[in-house]
Chains A and B, each alone.
Chain A
């Protein structure tokens, strides 16, 4: 319960229980995060969604980056309009993948990430998005280590107690990025006990990362792919990329790695 005790007066927030209801059918949840921007976090979130779809899952994608949502830019389908049923049924952006995003409601305008706004917005998105037919949920988050990340991990622990939950920390191989990412993981893992943490090493050119720095239970490696560095990649570009094929192979080779 998210509420405040105040003597004999208590205030309750029904959105957590609403979110719990919306997530009741979701078996696996992946929260994709990175302490550092520009490491390809959203692309990895999309690749994971596509990989799980290849494995026969029905996938939900949630863009929790309120001020700079970008997941929708991979798809050609417009996010204008949605079906109402016990909230909002996120539109199917490609076969087998539904996307919920602030863009559904803001028509592309940015909303500020200040004050209580982001916390309310994350809770509201979770409470309003109907994932009844999704077995896997992949959540893309803003870069950095912010209140939204803390809230998301805590809310998802409470709202989806029956699901297997994984935090996917994305980094590039640079020492700075790896160091920052591991620092963030250590912080989040200190309280988000209901999550397992894995590392995705993105844009790998060669094996340059200090192996000893990566103590995570599971480390996936995604090669740099020039296709994804050109302009704004679409879902078709991602599907054609060697980076996606490499990720898909690892998903298939180590199913235990991804819950």
Chain B
């Protein structure tokens, strides 16, 4: 479980990004489905580290659905469509690129694919 380390990374990046700014706009934290963070645990660490950093901001936590696209035939699909085994989901949680080792296009079988959305963790600051 690396929710704590990623939460720390988010807060430290926010500290740098917001330093010297008069006000804080919207902060949106996008959690890719592949990363499969435990939201409750992640939010707990985020709140703790934000408080310790003296950053009193509101944020929105949004889970981005993982959508994969075959670069051979153009087919698109989601994790629900293929049903990854739990042990593989766990490995992908730690290292999303591991997905390329386990998944092929359900339509044509090609492993030449890309993750269109929902790969990892991103933070968007607006305003």
Chain B residues with CB under 8 Å of A127's CB are 2, 5-6, 9
Complex Cα distance, B100 from A124, in Å, reads 14
**Is B8's CB within 8 Å of the partner chain A?**
yes
Q: Is the CB of B124 within 8 A of A9?
A: yes
Complex Cα distance, B3 from A128, in Å, reads 10
Q: Given A8-B127, A9-B125, A14-B123, does the pair A102, B9 have CB atoms closer than 8 Å? A: no
A39-47, A84-92, A163-171, A188-196 - the one binding chain B: A84-92
**Is A219's CB within 8 Å of the partner chain B?**
no
**Is B17's CB within 8 Å of the partner chain A?**
yes
A28-36, A110-118, A172-180, A207-215 - the one binding chain B: A110-118
Q: How distant is A46 from chain B, measured CB to nearest CB, in Å? A: 22
**Is B48's CB within 8 Å of the partner chain A?**
no
Chain B residues with CB under 8 Å of A187's CB are none
**Is B51's CB within 8 Å of the partner chain A?**
no
Question: Whose C-beta in chain B lies nearest to the C-beta of A108?
Answer: B101
Most chain B beta-carbon contacts within 10 A, residue among A3, A86, A105, A110: A105
Q: How distant is A80 from chain B, measured CB to nearest CB, in Å? A: 10
**Is A57's CB within 8 Å of the partner chain B?**
no
Q: Is the CB of A112 within 8 A of B100?
A: yes
Chain B residues with CB under 8 Å of A9's CB are 124-126
Q: Is the CB of B5 within 8 A of A8?
A: no
Q: How distant is B40 from chain A, measured CB to nearest CB, in Å? A: 17
Q: Given A128-B94, A128-B95, does the pair A12, B17 have CB atoms closer than 8 Å? A: yes
Q: Is the CB of B95 within 8 A of A105?
A: yes
* B78-112 interface bits toward A, Cβ cutoff 8 Å, 1 = contact, 0 = none: 00000000000001101111101110000000011
**Is A155's CB within 8 Å of the partner chain B?**
no
Interface size class of A (residues with CB under 8 A): 35 or more
Residues 1-53 of B at the A interface (beta carbon under 8 Å): 1-2, 4-6, 8-10, 12-14, 16-17, 25
Complex Cα distance, B13 from A111, in Å, reads 29
Q: How distant is B115 from chain A, measured CB to nearest CB, in Å? A: 9
Number of interface residues of B (CB under 8 A): 36
**Is A22's CB within 8 Å of the partner chain B?**
yes
Most chain B beta-carbon contacts within 10 A, residue among A3, A9, A17: A17
**Is A220's CB within 8 Å of the partner chain B?**
no
- Chain A interface, >50% SS class: mixed
Q: Given A10-B125, A11-B123, does the pair A18, B17 have CB atoms closer than 8 Å? A: no
**Is B121's CB within 8 Å of the partner chain A?**
yes
Question: Whose C-beta in chain B lies nearest to the C-beta of A106?
Answer: B101
Contact partner, A125, options B92, B95, B100, Cβ 8 Å = B95
Q: List 25 A-B contacts (CB under 8 A).
A: A3-B17, A8-B127, A13-B123, A14-B10, A14-B13, A14-B121, A15-B6, A17-B13, A21-B5, A84-B1, A86-B4, A87-B94, A102-B95, A104-B91, A105-B98, A106-B101, A106-B102, A107-B91, A109-B102, A111-B101, A115-B114, A120-B96, A120-B119, A124-B120, A127-B5
B binding-site residues for A, Cβ under 8 Å: 1-2, 4-6, 8-10, 12-14, 16-17, 25, 91-92, 94-98, 100-102, 111-112, 114, 119-127
A binding-site residues for B, Cβ under 8 Å: 1, 3, 8-18, 20-22, 66, 84, 86-88, 102, 104-107, 109-112, 115, 117, 120-121, 124-125, 127-128, 130
